[in-house]
């Protein structure tokens, strides 16, 4: 964390990475740094951690690069100008960004009341031109779950498309689709990142996980040495320190509860979250509160511009002491604001 600010606007790990990662980075030699990285061992380690075969895992330069690979793959399957990608709003902003970069048309599904998952409307939006469907579990920014079976139904209804289930927050949700599903749904791909729970956001490392043939096709969309040697060394060390991950997840779970309790005390609407963040509706005061918090050195995300999120702030739930700092500041600001 930047020493003088509390960063609660990117859903980063507010504790930093495991000390084991720092130690491992210190062991990098001049020779290591001068050599192109080898991904075999660490890929096997990630695969074992996820319970799949090594050939089902593609390491990426942050999950963002995995999203880019999926978008590229989408426009290369037939005439690119016909490609349509589907997302359910509100969702992670990078989907729209990558659709734009590769020149695909984006079909946006409007939110349901209370951000329920619009399964019927996603199914109805699928056409022969659909090449990518973006799903997120739990969703960012709402924290809401993808209902059981929804991803498989969508993947079966759109065999011409890659169905991404972005599981950036799986560590906090304690659930994953990874497993036998890839045999039944070879067009379903799960995205994971080591940025959030493991605290490696600055090193950029994530993974796509899926059917061996699908992962091989996605591999052809990205450069061969896409993840650097420091990220590989860090990832290897991070995977050895489950104690750290479990500690951090427990902090985030407690923080999410503390934010929920604060909202209930204050009569604010919030959506129960399975991630390391909570979406809270503060109404017209959203931009003012964001500014007031920033003036106190606390950064939060005003999501007002996102569909269905008018007047909503997304608060990162990290280390409990940081959350307490946030709640104290919020109490203070709410008490002093006339609006």
Ligand X SMILES: *Cc1c(COP(=O)(O)O)cnc(C)c1O
Give the binding-site size for ligand X (rule: CB under 6 A): 13
Closest CB to ligand X among residues 107, 168 = 168
In 3D space, the residue among 192, 193, 187, 195 whose CA is nearest the CA of residue 213 turns out to be 187
Report helix, strand or coil for 224: coil
Query: What is the Cα–Cα distance from 71 to 55, expressed in whole angstroms?
Result: 21
Residue 9 Cβ vs ligand X, minimum distance, rounded to whole Å: 12
Number of other residues whose CB lies within 10 A of the CB of residue 166: 28
Phi, psi of 117 (to 5 degrees): -85, 125
Among 39, 68, 85, 92, binds ligand X (CB under 6 A): 92
Token reading at 203: 């090193």
CB of 168 to ligand X, least distance (A): 3
Binding of ligand X by 317 (CB under 6 A): no
Cα 108 to Cα 24, 81, 133, distances in angstroms:
43, 17, 10
Give yes or no for residue 201 binding ligand X (CB under 6 A).
yes
Is residue 207 close enough to count as binding ligand X by CB under 6 A? no
193 binds ligand X (CB under 6 A): yes
62 binds ligand X (CB under 6 A): yes
Query: Counting Cβ atoms within 10 Å, is residue 106 exposed (0-12), middle (13-18) or buried (19+)?
Result: middle
Q: Give the contact letters, 245-284, x = binds to ligand X (CB under 6 A), - = no.
A: ----------------------------------------
Q: Closer CB to ligand X, residue 18 or residue 140? A: 140
Shortest Å distance, C-beta 192 to ligand X: 8
Restricting to residues 28-57, name those near ligand X by CB under 6 A. none
Residue 140 interacts with ligand X (CB under 6 A): yes or no: yes
* Among residues 104, 195, 239, 289, the one that binds ligand X under rule CB under 6 A: 195
CB 29 within 8 A of CB 230: no
Alpha carbons 193 and 164: distance in angstroms, whole number: 14
Each residue 319-338 as x (binds ligand X by CB under 6 A) or -, in order, gives --------------------
CA dist., res. 100 & res. 123, Å (int):
23
Name the 3-class secondary structure at 258: helix
Report the run of H or E that residue 186 belongs to, with start and end. none
87 binds ligand X per the rule CB under 6 A: no
The contact set with ligand X (CB under 6 A) reads: 11, 62-64, 92, 136, 140, 166, 168, 193, 195, 201, 206
């Amino acid at each position: 964390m930047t020493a003088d600010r509390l960063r609660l606007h990117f859903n980063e790990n507010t504790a930093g990475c495991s000390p084991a990662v720092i130690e491992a980075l210190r062991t990098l030699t001049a020779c290591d740094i001068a050599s192109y990285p080898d991904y075999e061992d660490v890929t096997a380690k990630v695969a074992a951690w996820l319970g799949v075969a090594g050939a089902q895992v593609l390491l990426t330069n942050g999950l963002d690069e995995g999203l880019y690979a999926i978008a590229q793959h989408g426009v290369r399957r037939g005439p690119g100008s016909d490609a349509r990608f589907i997302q359910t709003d509100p969702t992670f902003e990078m989907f729209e960004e990558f659709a734009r970069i590769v020149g695909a048309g984006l079909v946006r599904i409007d939110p349901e009341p209370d951000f329920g998952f619009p399964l019927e409307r996603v199914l109805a939006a699928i056409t022969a031109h659909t090449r990518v469907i973006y799903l997120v579990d739990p969703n960012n920014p709402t924290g809401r779950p993808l209902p059981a079976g929804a991803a498989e139904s969508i993947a079966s209804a759109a065999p011409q498309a890659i169905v991404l289930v972005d599981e950036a927050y799986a560590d906090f949700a304690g659930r994953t689709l990874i497993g036998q599903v890839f045999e039944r749904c070879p067009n379903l791909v799960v995205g994971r990142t080591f940025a959030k729970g493991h605290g490696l956001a600055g090193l950029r490392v994530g993974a796509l996980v899926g059917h061996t043939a699908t992962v091989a096709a996605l591999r052809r969309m990205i450069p061969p040495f896409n993840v650097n040697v420091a990220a590989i060394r860090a990832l290897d060390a991070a995977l050895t320190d489950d104690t750290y991950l479990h500690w951090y997840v427990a902090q985030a779970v407690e923080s999410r509860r503390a934010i929920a309790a604060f909202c209930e005390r204050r009569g604010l609407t919030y959506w129960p979250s399975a991630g390391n963040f909570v979406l809270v509706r503060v109404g017209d005061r959203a931009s003012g509160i964001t500014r007031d918090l920033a003036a106190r050195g606390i950064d939060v995300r005003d999501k007002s511009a996102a569909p269905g999120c008018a007047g909503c702030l997304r608060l990162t739930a990290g280390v409990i002491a940081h959350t307490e700092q946030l709640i104290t500041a919020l109490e203070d600001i709410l008490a002093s604001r006339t609006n």
